[in-house]
Structure formats: structure tokens, C-alpha cells
């Protein structure tokens, strides 16, 4: 009689082990948080906001009635559910399979399986401001549309959908990553990406984008949400749980496939030759050239800026935004761009920071070069977005164009000032080799992205209003104090960098 464990038993053991490892890694991450009290406060705030988003709208006047805005909320809910799925897919693909529970460089000494990595990425998916905002909007819409009577049952459905869509997004992202790592994978993925973007634009231009969202049958889910505890609701929940379980389990398969293949774009960067160029004309130019290389030769930065520059631009192009509405775009792109490296700008040097710091150059020049490279990176990305968005908008009036240009300048300066300030105040030692790398721990990134999103969105809305005022001077006058304030913050960050004690703290921290 055979006594050896069957292959199925072994696989189950592996899965159990992987799940337990996720618990160990989470415990490790939470115990190594630098500021436990802040961590607890931030967690409580986000849980509170989620509960508020799910509950408060149901108690607002007009909630849950079958007419007016409540009816509109229910009508728009299927599209919102489908939109969340698309966002989950795009977000996971852009981050190369999602965030890492344990950084790759640190994980090499531990037997962390791709299944653990997959489950960890799923758990960390909510630590993304785009994901959070969309989730809160979805919960709020459900709450307002359904009202108090069936709030709990409807929100259970919405929450499970959010989890299921995230799991499906992860499956697609791992699959894309596995394909990207094949011989012609990079070309295939880029080709598919372009074809999908072009397809989305064509669908929108031909007014068929709504048909596509309808074909996803998310309205079937909404029908199940609205009538409380019924067989229909139970069937809806069962289907959602099925999708969630299948997504979670299935995601491990492409995750293993991707883990067995070398990340070709990273390998390409690390083995590529860069022929010698002429000696830069000045110390500042030499520093700028080195910093530019650090940015544009990094896979996460190249991939991230492509998604940031073209994604909102294509959406805006498809959505046929008018010029005043476009003032939201530069802030969105600049915020996202800063989150690629700007919020921990000194990490570009990594362990080379110690050597660079031993070079005889004024600290203020080093600061100016780094701030300039970040500024031009953000300006370039947001310019691409604005040009794309403007293709269908016709010629702007002088006031509209001035408002947009003022917004561009103001939000980029706001973001650069904040990013350089945070880079100085809270440096982290990170390796930006991997497409999944982020310049700061996930929770810190949520804080940064929330602050940047709020600041730049409010600024964009101010200038959106000013774009409708037929006087060019108004936008310029309003922009002036914004610019001055950001420059003052930037000078404060520079002063902090030029202090040798502060600079030594930053350099030794990022050097690891």
C-alpha cells in the first residue's frame, strides 16, 4: 500500500504553506513599520472613510427612492462596477503584477513562493489611491442608490465585487507579465496595449463604449443587490464569490509562470551599452545628465510615465473633454509622475549616494539638478497628456489656454516642492530596478498620493473655473501666489538639503 503523499496532497500542502507565509510576511511588515502610532491612525482613518462611504450616503435625503439622483446612481452602477474591473486590470498590469509584500532584493534569502507573492500583491492592491477612490465611489453610489432598506445586503455585494474584480485584475496582470517575459513578449504586450488603446478610442468615437460596458453584464449583479435578502441576491453573491475564488486561485498559475522567466526589460536595461558622450559643459549639466540617466533607464519609471502620459490623454481624447475640464489633467499626471520616484528623489543614487556626496560640488547645485530633472519629467509627461486631450477640443480661447498653462505650471511646482520636501524629510533605501518597485513603503505611498491628489485636484478645479472667465489676467494673477508659495517650499527643502547633518542622514539612509 503506497504511503507517500500524492501530488494533490503535496500541492495542497504547498498552498497551505504559501498562505501561512503571507501571514508571516504581513506580521513582519507591520512589526517593522517605522511609526506604529501613525500606522494605526492612518489605518483607522481609512477604515473610517470606507465605512462612511458605504453608510453615510444612504442617510442623505433622497437616497434609495426610485427617482431623481438615487435612480441615476442605480442606473450608473453597472458601468461603475465594470469601470472598477478595468481599473483593477490596468493598475495591476502597470505595476508589473502588483506590489511586493517583501521586496525582491530582501526576499531572495527566503523561500517565498510565487503563490505567496501573488496573494501578497492582492492584499496590497488597496494601498493605491486610484483603487481606494474608485472603491469609495462604488460603495457610495451603492449606498445612495439603494438607501437604508437594503443597505447591508447591497454593500456586501459591492464589497465582494471589489475583491473579485481585484483578483481578476491580478490574473490578467500576471498573465501579461508572463507573456512579457517570453522571447518577443515585450513587442507583443506593447502591440496589444496600442491596439486596445486604439480600440477604446474607436469605440468611444463611434459611441459604442457604453455598449461594451453593458456587454459585461454587470447590470445582472446590480439587479441582485437592490431587493434585500432574496434567492436572486444569494445567487448574485454566490457568483461573485465564485469569481473571487477562481480569480485568487487561478492567479497563482501565471504568477508561477512569470516567476520562472527572467524580466526581459530589466535585463535589457542592465546589459545594454550606452556609448560615451561628450563631457558635459558644466557641473550642473553633468549632474543633470547623471540624474536623467537614473530616471529614464529605470524600468518602473519608463513604464509608469508611458501609462501616465498616454492613459489619461487617451481617456480625455475619448471623453471629448473641453478646455476648462482639461485643467484637471496636469495635476493628475504630475502627481502620478512624482509617485514613480520624486517623493524619494535621493533614492535614485541608491548606494552611489555616498560616492556622489564625496564629490566636490555645492550641495545647492546637486539639489537644483535633482529638482530640475523631476520638473522636466513631470512637465514632459503632462504635456503629452494635454496635447492628446486637446486633439478633439478645437482651438482654445486665450482665457482657456492661459488657465491651462497656469495650471500646468502651478501643479508641477506644487508637486515638485512637496516631493523634494518629502524626499528630504523621509528618505528610504529602495532599489528601483524592478517594475514592481515603489520609492516608499505602500502605506506611505497612499499618504503621499492622497495629499498630492487633493492638492492638485483642488488647484485644477480653481483654474477650471477661471478658464470660463473671459480675462486672461485673472488666471495669471491667481497663479502668482501659488507659484510663490511653491517656490518658498522648494527653497525650504533646499535649505534643509544644504545642512550637512540633514544631508548625511538622507545619503546614509538611501545608501542602505
**Using CB under 8 A as the criterion, which residues of the chain lie in contact with other proteins when the complex forms?**
269-276, 279-280, 282-283, 285-287, 289-290, 293-294, 297-298, 348-352, 354-362, 431-433, 500-501, 504-505, 507-508, 511-512
Cβ proximity to other proteins, 303 vs 451, nearer residue = 303
Cβ proximity to other proteins, 50 vs 429, nearer residue = 429
Among 5, 244, 251, 256, residue whose Cα is nearest residue 112: 256
Tell me how far CA of residue 433 lies from CA of 236, 284, 347, 411, 439, in angstroms.
42, 26, 12, 28, 11
Residue 269 CB, nearest distance to other proteins (Å)? 7
Cβ proximity to other proteins, 36 vs 280, nearer residue = 280
Q: Which three cell numbers stand for residue 189?
A: 504586450
Cβ proximity to other proteins, 264 vs 289, nearer residue = 289
**Cα–Cα–Cα angle for 431, 273, 339, rounded to 5 degrees:** 30
Residue 380 CB, nearest distance to other proteins (Å)? 18
Q: CA 215 to CA 196: how far, in whole Å?
A: 17
Residue 285 CB, nearest distance to other proteins (Å)? 8
Cβ proximity to other proteins, 47 vs 285, nearer residue = 285
Residue 105 CB, nearest distance to other proteins (Å)? 12
CB atoms < 10 A from the CB of 109, how many? 7
Q: CA 220 to CA 232: how far, in whole Å?
A: 10
Distance linking the first and last C-alpha atoms of the chain: 56
Residue 70 CB, nearest distance to other proteins (Å)? 53
Taking a C-beta distance cutoff of 8 angstroms, is the pair 391, 317 a contact? yes
CB atoms < 10 A from the CB of 285, how many? 12
Cβ proximity to other proteins, 371 vs 462, nearer residue = 371
Residue 341 CB, nearest distance to other proteins (Å)? 11
Q: CA 59 to CA 51: how far, in whole Å?
A: 13
**Cα–Cα–Cα angle for 425, 358, 351, rounded to 5 degrees:** 60
Q: CA 367 to CA 60: how far, in whole Å?
A: 50
Residue 107 CB, nearest distance to other proteins (Å)? 18
Residue 106 CB, nearest distance to other proteins (Å)? 15
Cβ proximity to other proteins, 226 vs 287, nearer residue = 287
Residue 430 CB, nearest distance to other proteins (Å)? 11
Taking a C-beta distance cutoff of 8 angstroms, is the pair 400, 467 a contact? yes
**Cα–Cα–Cα angle for 134, 136, 140, rounded to 5 degrees:** 115
Among 43, 18, 21, residue whose Cα is nearest residue 442: 43
Cβ proximity to other proteins, 160 vs 437, nearer residue = 437
Cβ proximity to other proteins, 260 vs 277, nearer residue = 277
HSE value, Cβ hemisphere, 13 Å, CA-based, for 174: 27
Amino acid at each position: 500500500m503506497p504511503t507517500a503523499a500524492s501530488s494533490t496532497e503535496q500541492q495542497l500542502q504547498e498552498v497551505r504553506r504559501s498562505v501561512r507565509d503571507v501571514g508571516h510576511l504581513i506580521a513582519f511588515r507591520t512589526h517593522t513599520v517605522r511609526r506604529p502610532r501613525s500606522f494605526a491612525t492612518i489605518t483607522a482613518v481609512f477604515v473610517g472613510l470606507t465605512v462612511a462611504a458605504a453608510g453615510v450616503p444612504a442617510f442623505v435625503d433622497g437616497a434609495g427612492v426610485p427617482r431623481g439622483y438615487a435612480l441615476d446612481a442605480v442606473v450608473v452602477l453597472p458601468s461603475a462596477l465594470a469601470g472598477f474591473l478595468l481599473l483593477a486590470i490596468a493598475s495591476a498590469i502597470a505595476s508589473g503584477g502588483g506590489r511586493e509584500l517583501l521586496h525582491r532584493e530582501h526576499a531572495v534569502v527566503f523561500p517565498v513562493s510565487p503563490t505567496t507573492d501573488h496573494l501578497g500583491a492582492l492584499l496590497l492592491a488597496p494601498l493605491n489611491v486610484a483603487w481606494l477612490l474608485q472603491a469609495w465611489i462604488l460603495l457610495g453610489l451603492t449606498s445612495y442608490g439603494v438607501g437604508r432598506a437594503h443597505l447591508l445586503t447591497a454593500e456586501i455585494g459591492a464589497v465582494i465585487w471589489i475583491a473579485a474584480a481585484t483578483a481578476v485584475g491580478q490574473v490578467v496582470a500576471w498573465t501579461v507579465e508572463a507573456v512579457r517575459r517570453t522571447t518577443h513578449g515585450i513587442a507583443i504586450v506593447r502591440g496589444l496595449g496600442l491596439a486596445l488603446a486604439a480600440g477604446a478610442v474607436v469605440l468611444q468615437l463611434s459611441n459604442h463604449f457604453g455598449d461594451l460596458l453593458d456587454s459585461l453584464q454587470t447590470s445582472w449583479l446590480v439587479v441582485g443587490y437592490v431587493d434585500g435578502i432574496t434567492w436572486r441576491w444569494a445567487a448574485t453573491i454566490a457568483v461573485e464569490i465564485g469569481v473571487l475564488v477562481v480569480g485568487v486561485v487561478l492567479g497563482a498559475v501565471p504568477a508561477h509562470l512569470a516567476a520562472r522567466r527572467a524580466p526581459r526589460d530589466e535585463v535589457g536595461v542592465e546589459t545594454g551599452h550606452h556609448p560615451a558622450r561628450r563631457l558635459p559643459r558644466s557641473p550642473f549639466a553633468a549632474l543633470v545628465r547623471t540624474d536623467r540617466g537614473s530616471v529614464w533607464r529605470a524600468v518602473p519609471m519608463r513604464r509608469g510615465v508611458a501609462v501616465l502620459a498616454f492613459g489619461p490623454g487617451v481617456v480625455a481624447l475619448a471623453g471629448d473633454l473641453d478646455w476648462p475640464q482639461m485643467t484637471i489633467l496636469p495635476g493628475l499626471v504630475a502627481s502620478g509622475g512624482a509617485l514613480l520616484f520624486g517623493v524619494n528623489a535621493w533614492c535614485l543614487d541608491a548606494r552611489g549616494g555616498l560616492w556622489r556626496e564625496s564629490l566636490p560640488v555645492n550641495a545647492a547645485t546637486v539639489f537644483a539638478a535633482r529638482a530640475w530633472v523631476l520638473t522636466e519629467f513631470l512637465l514632459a509627461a503632462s504635456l503629452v497628456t494635454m496635447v492628446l486631450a486637446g486633439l478633439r477640443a478645437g482651438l482654445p480661447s486665450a482665457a482657456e489656454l492661459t488657465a491651462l498653462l497656469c495650471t500646468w505650471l502651478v501643479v508641477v511646482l506644487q508637486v515638485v516642492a512637496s516631493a523634494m520636501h518629502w524626499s528630504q524629510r523621509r528618505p528610504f533605501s529602495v532599489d528601483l530596478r524592478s517594475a514592481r518597485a515603489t520609492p516608499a513603503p505602500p502605506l506611505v505611498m497612499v499618504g503621499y498620493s492622497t495629499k498630492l491628489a487633493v492638492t492638485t485636484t483642488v488647484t485644477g478645479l480653481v483654474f477650471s473655473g477661471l478658464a470660463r472667465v473671459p480675462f486672461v489676467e485673472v488666471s495669471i494673477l491667481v497663479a502668482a501666489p501659488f507659484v510663490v508659495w511653491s517656490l518658498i517650499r522648494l527653497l525650504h527643502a533646499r535649505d534643509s538639503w544644504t545642512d550637512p547633518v540633514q544631508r548625511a542622514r538622507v545619503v546614509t539612509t538611501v545608501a542602505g
